[in-house]
Amino acid sequence: MAWAGWGAGPAGAGSAGGPSRAFLWAMVVGAGIVTVALAQERSPFAFGGAAATAYFLLRATGRIGPPRNS
């Protein structure tokens, strides 16, 4: 019997519909906090944090990603 691993078939990773809105909002807040901390240090990585914050915000509001039925 072969091991299928994550993502193999309908029972694989992501089969439950992806991350919840609560998780995505937590990521928005977390990425925002990290971005502010990096910006205060004048780190060039703050731009990456801003991009991550924007991405999670778009996912949490349903602008990008799979459509939500709930």
> What is the per-residue pLDDT across 30-45, written as a single tens digit (0 to 9) for each?
999 999 999 999 999 9
Summarize pLDDT for 59-68 with one digit per residue, the tens: 999 898 877 6
The answer to whether the Cα torsion of 63, 27, 9, 69 is positive or negative is negative
Residue for token pair 């995505």: 24
Domain boundaries, the chain: 21-60
- Residue pair 30/19 in contact (Cβ under 8 Å)? The answer is no
Burial 18-51 (b: 16+ CB within 10 A, else e): eeeeeebeebbeebbebbeebeeeeeeebeebbe
Q: Is the model's pLDDT at 1 over the cut of 50?
A: no
Res 65: pLDDT: 81
